[in-house]
Amino acid sequence: MNNYMATRVLHYLLVAFLIAITYNIDAASAGITRHYKFDIQLKNITRLCKAKTIVTVNGKFPGPKVTAREGDNLQIKVVNHVSNNISIHWHGIRQIRSGWADGPSYVTQCPIQTGQSYVYNFNVTGQRGTLWWHAHIQWMRATVYGPLIILPKLHQPYPFPKPYKQIPILFGEWFNADPQAVLQQALQTGGGPNASDAHTFNGLPGPLYNCSTKDTYNLSVKPGKTYLLRLINAALDDELFFTIANHTLTVVEADASYVKPFQTNIVLLGPGQTTNVLLKAKPIYPNANFYMLARPYFTGQGTIDNTTVAGILKYQHKHKSSKNLPVIKPFLPPINSTSYAANFTKMFRSLANSKYPANVPKTVDKKYFFTVGLGTNPCPKNQTCQGPTNTTKFAASINNVSFILPNQTSLLQAYFFGISKKVFMTDFPSAPLFKFNYTGMPPNNTMVSRGTKVVVLKYNTTVELVLQGTSILGMEAHPFHLHGFNFYVVGQGFGNFDPNRDPKQYNLVDPVERNTINVPSGGWVAIRFLADNPGVWLMHCHIEIHLSWGLTMAWVVLDGDLPNQKLLPPPSDFPKC
């Protein structure tokens, strides 16, 4: 073979090699389609020595783990075998152009009725980390929830030390009563709901509750190994402090967004939030077990389940048993420790590097100021209520509008098929109609208005939203979740937001990126996001009773001009009302 032919052969081999590499990279980036089936079914279960029947997915409590990689397509068929209507929300998934799969009943779909099924079909685009799924109708998510784990693309490392094992830990609440009955009683009487009877780790209440030693979550570790704990707060109504005795945790992710690592002994999660932490096991067998504890953070005036769930961290040893070892108990802050909550929240910062940039909008097209908090509705005639007075019921509102869900169609259907005027109004106020000292003396009139109102945004609008807590019927934190988007938390503080002073302190360099953020008790938080996802997107407090009282609203994001900027049509098996 002459030199010319040899050179040509080498050239072709090199081209073929490069094509093969490109194909493999593209294939890895494109991902695969993963199929799951969720059978909504009843299951008998015993907790706290009380047997009851609960609604589950596939007979599991908590429900099954859904795993995907960034770039994958998920097709999850939900079949409803129970008498309750159901819908499933994939909490934190962006649902780019696939709002029909987002899940909140009467917002993006009608619920799946008894005997019906629906395939949630969506892509996991540009996301990796810990999310979760849960029912999104009434209080069904008390037992219908589970982890949604998005692994990085193939051959993409974590931006932190590779863990030996990855372990989801879901915080929950357990009700001896039927949660739906608890909700209905509260709505009928106008009072606060009865509190749950226990908190749980992965469905287990643990040894600090009556009759529950056998129902204890045990975490077994090897000395010297590093574990990634995927913490998910699936509780209905409670923000929770979490700690492990004599162990330091390194926070590396929040709401499926990487953060600059920082160490802490105590983690705080509001309902709906997820946090990934690294647990470095002690290098030498410690001859002790260690309590993992979680209990509420709360500053409001209502009744709350102020109990503590305990799990046990145990070390493995070839020749020693963990039985009969002392169990070391950790410290947790007081239930109303707002100072700890604020200091912890301020620790979160995006990585903001070339691989994981913080694309926070530097300029803003639209600014909104929303007051969020409690209020009252009048008691029906000839009825004595159990609200703040015997003539009022508890309510909740944003800018004094308490949201009413439609019940004959969904907001997204109404928008897509051009019948929105029959279902919702587009005059949601961009600021409070009546200004007052939001965190000072509350006004005498605490009545809220009621309506189905939305804000309409043009595609690619940059939005700044200030969420301002109020002191009406007590000051408390509100974990707010935005469907369809991540946002950047550019500022937060106590008291009333000052539009002249506070924006000067905004962090526009490395603010944390989240899908759920606490509005501080007696304070405010400022977020920014890019409205680049057409559809109808709910934003609400993730404390379930507040959502039931109307502490929610919706954003309608219009289609863009290009084909890839338009909402896809609904699937053929879309549930009918």
Q: What are phi and psi of 503, to 5 degrees?
A: -60, -25
- 147 and 182 belong to one structural domain: no
pLDDT > 70? residue 4: no
Confidence class of residue 19 from pLDDT cuts 50, 70 and 90?
very low
pLDDT > 60? residue 180: yes
pLDDT > 50? residue 17: no
CATH label of the domain that carries residue 517: 2.60.40.420
Residue 24: the pLDDT is: 38
CA-wise closest residue to 116 among 141, 80, 146: 80
- 35 and 113 belong to one structural domain: yes
Q: Which residues contact 147 (CB under 8 A, 6 or more apart)?
A: 62, 65, 66, 130, 131, 132, 133, 168, 170, 230, 232
Mean pLDDT, rounded, for 256-264: 98
pLDDT > 90? residue 7: no
Mean pLDDT, rounded, for 319-332: 88
Exposure class string for 442-463: b at 16+ Cβ within 10 A, else e? beeebebbebbbbbbbebebbb
pLDDT > 90? residue 303: no
- 389 and 334 belong to one structural domain: no
In a domain, 280, yes or no: yes
Mean pLDDT, rounded, for 46-72: 98
pLDDT > 60? residue 421: yes
Residue 225: the pLDDT is: 98
- 415 and 535 belong to one structural domain: yes
Of 155, 177, 199, the domain-final residue: 155
Confidence class of residue 25 from pLDDT cuts 50, 70 and 90?
very low
- 516 and 415 belong to one structural domain: yes
- 147 and 167 belong to one structural domain: no
In a domain, 34, yes or no: yes
In a domain, 432, yes or no: yes
* Rounded-to-integer distance, Cα 360 and Cα 527, Å: 9
Amino acid code (one letter) for 394: F
As for how many domains the chain has, the answer is 3
Tokens representing 443?
Answer: 């006004």
Q: What is the pLDDT of residues 436-491, one digit of tens each?
A: 999 999 999 999 999 999 999 999 999 999 999 999 999 999 999 999 999 999 99
* DSSP string for 441-459: SPPS--B-EEE-BEEEE-T
pLDDT > 50? residue 6: no
In a domain, 355, yes or no: no
Q: How many residues does the chain have?
A: 577
- 242 and 147 belong to one structural domain: no
- 384 and 339 belong to one structural domain: no
pLDDT > 50? residue 15: no
Tokens representing 551?
Answer: 């502490």
Per-residue HEC secondary structure of 261-278 comes to: EEEECEEEECCCCEEEEE
In a domain, 316, yes or no: yes
Q: What is the pLDDT of residues 98-157, one digit of tens each?
A: 999 999 999 999 999 999 999 999 999 999 999 999 999 999 999 999 999 999 999 999
**Contact call for residues 278 and 332 (beta carbons, < 8 A):** no
pTM metric for this prediction: 0.94
Of 133, 155, 177, the domain-final residue: 155
* Rounded-to-integer distance, Cα 46 and Cα 197, Å: 13
- 116 and 199 belong to one structural domain: no
Of 155, 187, 217, the domain-final residue: 155
In a domain, 567, yes or no: no
Residue 288: the pLDDT is: 96
Mean pLDDT, rounded, for 496-505: 98
Mean pLDDT of the chain: 94
Sign of the dihedral defined by the CA atoms of residues 154, 160, 161, 167, in that order: negative
- 244 and 266 belong to one structural domain: yes
- 103 and 151 belong to one structural domain: yes
Q: What is the pLDDT of residues 360-398, one digit of tens each?
A: 999 999 999 999 999 999 999 989 999 999 999 999 999
- The residue segments making up the domain with residue 139 are 30-155
In a domain, 562, yes or no: no
- 183 and 254 belong to one structural domain: yes
Confidence class of residue 318 from pLDDT cuts 50, 70 and 90?
confident
pLDDT > 50? residue 9: no
In a domain, 575, yes or no: no
With the CA atoms of 138, 489, 124 and 42 taken in that order, what torsion angle do they form, in degrees rounded to the nearest 10? -20
* DSSP string for 464-482: EEEEEE--TT----EEEEE
